[in-house]
Amino acid sequence: MPMTAVEGCLMRGKILLLAVVILAGLRAWGQIDEEQARILDLENAWSRSVQTKDTAGLDMLLAPELVYIGIEGKLMTKAEYLASVQSPAEHPARVTSESMKVHVFGAAAIVDGVYRETGVKKGKPYTLRARFIDMWVRRRDSWVCVASDGTVMGP
């Protein structure tokens, strides 16, 4: 039985609507991947900044209201964390983050991963391995970290 003109228009409209929904879903999926890559780049920049004691670089990555919980459990403000990075007693030789996973929730994201650091502290070599979780929020066109927590892992 042939379709009427009205039925044909309705069918084309349904197909067009389905195509729009599918394309919108694919587009959103691509944006999440792009956002994940941006946040991973920021995490890697954080590691480089700690290694080189670049507090100006860190300042751009961290929100003014940062809540930072160090691996020893100490709660720090952004200013306290930046001061700890500048400590003359600690000389990081290599700082890396690995096994990172980014979970994006609109204008917020959580990153979990493993942090590794080697260097010299108070004249003695040290190796650190910790699991971390960072909370990022998007402000305008950039991301800033608002919270970070780390837990020491075995070697």
pLDDT in tens, 127-141: 999 999 999 999 999
Contact 140, 132 (CB under 8 A): no
* Integer CA distances (angstroms), 86 to 8, 90, 92, in order: 70, 8, 11
- Break the chain into its structural domains and give their ranges: 5-152
Question: Residue 154: what pLDDT?
Answer: 77
Contact 111, 102 (CB under 8 A): yes
Higher-pLDDT residue of 2 and 66 is 66
User: How far is residue 147's CA from residue 130's CA, in Å, rounded to a whole number?
Assistant: 16
pLDDT in tens, 24-60: 444 455 555 999 999 999 999 999 999 999 999 999 9
Q: What is the arithmetic mean of pLDDT over 11-18?
A: 42
CATH number attached to the domain at 5-152: 3.10.450.50
pLDDT in tens, 76-127: 999 999 999 999 999 999 999 999 999 999 999 999 999 999 999 999 999 9
Listed in sequence order, the residues at least 6 apart from 100 whose beta carbon sits closer than 8 Å to its beta carbon are 40, 43, 111, 112, 113, 114
Question: Residue 11: what pLDDT?
Answer: 44
Question: Residue 16: what pLDDT?
Answer: 39
- Under DSSP, the state recorded for 3 is P
Q: What is the arithmetic mean of pLDDT over 7-14?
A: 46
